[in-house]
């Protein structure tokens, strides 16, 4: 037990002599954590939606990146991530095709 105590005291003396390094390590660690939290809170995702319509394109919310197409894109473009959803308008009816979850589809319907 005496040897353990001696090692602990020796480590504390060494830390006291190099306290500027210890303070620098603590500041850099705290700065990295603060930067990570800040940049993660700034992330905004914009849904990429393809709209297929014969008539003039309907107005959708500005939170979506809307691309107007003449025909339905292949499903491979949804899988590849080029589009998050495809909205097909036929008259007053519409159909939403997406490979994402139902909450995302309801977000598009409300927007």
94-107 confidence digits (pLDDT tens): 888 888 888 888 88
> pLDDT higher for 90 or 86?
86
For residue 31, what pLDDT band results from cuts at 50, 70 and 90? Answer: very high
Q: What is the pLDDT of residue 77?
A: 86
Q: How far apart are CA 1 and CA 7, in angstroms?
A: 10
> pLDDT higher for 57 or 34?
34
- Is the predicted pLDDT of residue 57 greater than 70, yes or no? no
- Is the predicted pLDDT of residue 24 greater than 70, yes or no? yes
Q: What is the pLDDT of residue 36?
A: 93
Beta bridge partners of 20: none
């Amino acid at each position: 037990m005496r040897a353990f105590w001696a090692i602990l005291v020796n480590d504390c003396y060494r830390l006291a002599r190099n306290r500027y390094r210890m303070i620098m390590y603590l500041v850099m660690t705290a700065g990295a954590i603060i930067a990570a939290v800040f940049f993660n809170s700034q992330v905004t995702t914009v849904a990429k939606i393809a709209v297929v319509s014969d008539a003039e394109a309907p107005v959708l919310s500005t939170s979506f990146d809307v691309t107007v197409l003449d025909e339905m894109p292949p499903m491979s473009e949804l899988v590849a991530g080029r589009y998050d959803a495809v909205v097909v308008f036929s008259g007053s009816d519409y159909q939403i095709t997406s490979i994402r979850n139902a909450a995302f589809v309801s977000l598009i319907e409300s927007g």
